[in-house]
């Protein structure tokens, strides 16, 4: 089998608790398609990976209906775990016989379905420019523009204004060599990581590897989290796809 150089991994085994209980967030309808369709479409068109692996819950019954609409290089993996970190780790285990240690694993939130294709194309160029022997990672991020406030103990009042200089908001995709991400997620602290980059940062501290490099993201690359985000994402996709 020809070794894969870039593999996109989309964890989509979550229940979307903050989105409500009417439907799983990843299957929320947007312009006649489930949200997952748009996420995969963008990754396929902008990143052009060798493989798109989608990590699903073990009892997912909805993804199969999407397969006829998806690119041929989409691989569903029914190995989702109780947490995002566990789902990604399980996905890596499932891919271990298909990839080499230096394969780029590009992890993208299923809920970031409106990421602009030019943003992904720029990330791909940055990825391909990385030295072959480098274990450094890349993550999309943006410098914070909102004023930050620390809340009081009961979360009802502003306690303090925080300095935002030097703070960035992490997005996805986040890109790491297969062996780096697998080793990082095997650390005892990995279960507390809120994204893959945090686990890799801890791995970098242990190994002396430079920490992940920022690649500028996009303000359109918003994460669909709450029901009120749906019309915003829908409008962005309509604009990007010129849907009338």
* CB-based burial label for 241 (10 Å; 0-12, 13-18, 19+): middle
Which pLDDT score is estimated for 2?
45
* CB-based burial label for 78 (10 Å; 0-12, 13-18, 19+): middle
Note whether residue 150 is domain-resident: no
Note whether residue 43 is domain-resident: yes
Half-sphere exposure of 144 (CA within 13 A, CB side): 13
Q: What is the pLDDT of residues 106-133, one digit of tens each?
A: 999 999 999 999 999 999 999 989 998 8
Note whether residue 154 is domain-resident: no
Q: What is the DSSP pairing of strand 4-12 with strand 99-107? A: parallel
The domain total for the chain is 1
Task: Say if CB 106 and CB 9 are below 8 A apart.
Answer: yes
Which pLDDT score is estimated for 196?
97
Note whether residue 129 is domain-resident: yes
9, β-bridge pairs: 53, 107
Q: Tell me the average pLDDT of the chain.
A: 93
Task: Say if CB 113 and CB 35 are below 8 A apart.
Answer: yes
Question: Is the sign of the CA dihedral 78, 80, 81, 87 positive or negative?
Answer: positive
Tokens of 174: 């986040």
Q: What is the DSSP letter of 151?
A: E
Q: What is the DSSP letter of 64?
A: G
Q: What is the pLDDT of residues 28-59, one digit of tens each?
A: 999 999 999 999 999 999 999 999 999 999 99
Note whether residue 14 is domain-resident: yes
At residue 173's C-alpha, the angle toward residues 61 and 232, to 5°, is 70
Note whether residue 161 is domain-resident: no
Which pLDDT score is estimated for 243?
83
Q: What residue numbers bound the domain in which 50 lies?
A: 4-139+171-241
Three-state secondary structure call for residue 48:
coil
Domain CATH for 214: 3.90.550.10
Note whether residue 155 is domain-resident: no
CA distance 183 to 92: 10
Which stretches in the chain have pLDDT values below 70? 1-4, 15-22, 244
């Amino acid at each position: 089998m020809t070794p894969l150089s870039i593999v996109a991994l989309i964890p989509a085994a979550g229940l979307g608790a903050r989105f409500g209980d009417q439907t799983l967030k990843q299957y929320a309808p947007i312009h006649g398609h489930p949200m997952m369709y748009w996420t995969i479409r963008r990754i396929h068109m902008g990143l052009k990976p060798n493989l798109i692996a989608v990590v699903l819950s073990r009892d997912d019954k909805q993804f199969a209906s999407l397969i006829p609409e998806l690119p041929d290089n989409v691989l569903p993996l029914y190995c989702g775990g109780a947490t995002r970190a566990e789902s990604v780790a399980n996905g890596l285990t499932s891919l271990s016989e298909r990839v080499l240690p230096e394969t780029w694993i590009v992890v993208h939130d299923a809920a970031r379905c409106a990421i602009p294709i030019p943003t992904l194309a720029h990330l791909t160029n940055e990825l391909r420019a990385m030295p072959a022997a480098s274990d450094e990672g890349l993550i999309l991020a943006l410098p914070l523009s909102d004023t930050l406030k620390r809340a009081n103990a009961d979360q009802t009042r502003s306690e303090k204004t925080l300095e935002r200089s030097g703070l960035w908001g992490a997005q996805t995709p986040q890109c790491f060599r297969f062996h780096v991400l697998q080793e990082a997620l095997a650390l005892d602290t990995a279960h507390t990581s809120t994204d893959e980059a945090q686990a890799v940062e801890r791995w970098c501290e242990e190994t002396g590897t430079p920490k992940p490099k920022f690649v500028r993201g996009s303000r359109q690359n918003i994460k669909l989290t709450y029901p009120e985000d749906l019309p915003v994402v829908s409008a962005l996709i309509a604009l990007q796809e010129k849907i009338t």
